[in-house]
Amino acid sequence: MNYNKKTVKDIDVKGKKVLLRCDFNVPMAKDGSGAITDDKRIRAALPTIQYLLEQGAAVIACSHMGKPKGQVKPELSLKPVAARLGELLGKDVILAADVVGPDAAAKAAALQPGQVLLLENTRFEKGEEKNDPELAKAMAAMAEVYVSDAFGAVHRAHASTAGVAGFLPAVSGFLIQKELDFIGGALANPKRPLVAILGGSKVSSKIGVINNLLEIADTIIIGGGMAYTFSAAQGGKVGDSLLEEDWKDYANDMVKKAADKGVKLLLPIDTVIADKFAPDADSKVVKAGEIPEGWQGLDIGPETVKLYCGAVADAGTVIWNGPMGVFEFPAFAKGTEAVAEALSKTGAITIIGGGDSAAAVQQLGYADKMSHISTGGGASLEFMEGKELPGVACLLDA
Ligand code: ADP
Ligand code: MG
């Protein structure tokens, strides 16, 4: 996939109506009050919106929220988003009552440069998730330029994320541009050595990422729950740890493939085990592959921490996906925290992908020390798998 795409800076938007796909899928309070519990995604969209307004564009923003499945669900209206976006921008945000219906069309037609219109939840339309060309065409008809800044949705070929680009000149906003620069840059032309740290819960959910990074990286570090499948595959005892029997052969294949390719593959040499899956479990450190029955591995051990932190110290680029242990329990967050700290100290470009990994880095207080934390969970995984992202592929090449 070509990661080199035109951005808002490469196109003239003065006096034009710009359809801007955002990711305003924000968490809402469960009590039905319409309160937004975290407005991070709305704030993240501000630089592109402000830039477009400064350039003299009229902005028609759109986004999905939740899973209304083609039905109008009042509890999934973007009304609270319009209000919050208005507060953050310091100007009124006009909300359309529909996506491409008469209200949206009339409000889009009347929109003036410097004004912001927000369309209703794109998934209120049945054609959205089907990438219906009629819907895409109707959305495009309201605008003259399409800007995509919804990185969290680029792995989906929907009418508002991909289809619409067939009808308008299409470029990226600043959020997508940064994702392409960092993740795309690391995949296509990394500053070496490239070290990939892979963890999280299951091997099976990371196969695509392991396969792809094995082709690109100089060193691959395995931690988290998936490490026990590698250990068991090599004949180790893993007790009650997370184990995917069906993936043992795959794990061995990967070890062999790494050796054949000259990629350094590091596996844990010790592990922190617990007598139950709980924050207050009894714990001790044992050698990898020597976990007694009744115990389970919940974190990498101190010798492994030293090995892994040493491997990132002189890296040129580090891509990290998947926590090293059950970081949600403070007693088993040490491995993840040590790796985060090591990343904060290296001179390498540091890239964090994956929803839980981003949450871990944030929770442990290292977010502002990383070069890039991807804003898309599923999208960043598919990106690291080397898959084509429909919402990126549809943009104009630079
Ligand atoms: P990401 O969202 O960053 O791609 P994953 O979803 O693959 O990451 O994995 C995150 C989860 O993996 C976390 O909830 C963490 O508790 C869990 N995890 C990490 N290590 C272990 C382990 N040893 N045993 C069980 N779960 C683990
Ligand atoms: Mg996850």
- Mean pLDDT in each 10-residue stretch from start to end of the chain (398 residues)? 93 98 94 90 97 98 97 96 98 98 98 98 98 98 98 97 98 97 95 97 93 96 97 98 97 96 98 98 98 98 98 96 97 98 96 93 95 92 95 97
pLDDT of residue 33: 85
Structure token digits, residue 288: 């990898």
C-beta 201 within 6 A of ligand 1: yes
pLDDT of residue 94: 98
CATH number for 182-384 (one of 3.90.1150.110, 3.40.50.450, 3.40.1190.20, 3.40.50.1260): it is 3.40.50.1260
Q: Give the Å distances, CA to CA, from 110 to 22, 60, 61, 143, 387.
A: 21, 11, 15, 12, 40
Asked if 202 is an active-site residue, the reply is yes
CA–CA distance, 1 with 386 (Å, rounded to integer)? 8
Fold of 8-174: Rossmann fold (3.40.50)
Asked if 355 is an active-site residue, the reply is yes
Contact 117, 60 (CB under 8 A): yes
Q: Tokens 């109506």 identify what position?
A: 17
Strand 58-62 relative to strand 17-21, pairing: parallel
Asked if 264 is an active-site residue, the reply is no
C-beta 335 within 6 A of ligand 1: no
Report the atom number in ligand 1 closest to the C-alpha of 325. 20
CA–CA distance, 195 with 298 (Å, rounded to integer)? 23
Ligand 1 centroid to residue 256 C-alpha, Å: 25
Ligand 1 centroid to residue 293 C-alpha, Å: 22
| Residue from 66, 86, 185, 355 carrying the catalytic annotation | 355
Ligand nearest to the CA of 356: 1
Q: What are the structural domain ranges in the chain?
A: 8-174, 182-384
Q: Which residues on neighbouring strands pair with residue 397, listed in sequence order?
A: 5
Report the atom number in ligand 1 closest to the C-alpha of 377. 2
| Residue from 6, 137, 192, 202 carrying the catalytic annotation | 202
Contacts of 342 (CB under 8 A, 6+ apart): 308, 309, 312, 313
pLDDT of residue 179: 96
Closest CA to 41 of 92, 87, 81, 99: 81
pLDDT of residue 30: 86
Contacts of 200 (CB under 8 A, 6+ apart): 206, 224, 225, 226, 321, 322, 323, 354, 356, 357
- Would the CATH topology of 8-174 be identical to that of 182-384? yes
Strand 290-291 relative to strand 237-238, pairing: parallel
Q: What stretches of the chain adopt beta strand conformation (E)?
A: 17-21, 58-62, 93-95, 116-118, 145-148, 170-172, 194-198, 219-222, 237-238, 264-266, 270-274, 283-287, 290-291, 296-300, 317-321, 349-352, 372-373
pLDDT of residue 108: 98
Q: Which residue out of 198, 201, 286, 383 has the highest number of ligand 1 atoms within 8 Å of its CB and is therefore the one to mutate?
A: 201
In the chain, the N- to C-terminal Cα span, in Å, equals 13
Asked if 107 is an active-site residue, the reply is no
Structure token digits, residue 374: 């991807």
pLDDT of residue 31: 85
Closest CA to 352 of 318, 329, 396: 318
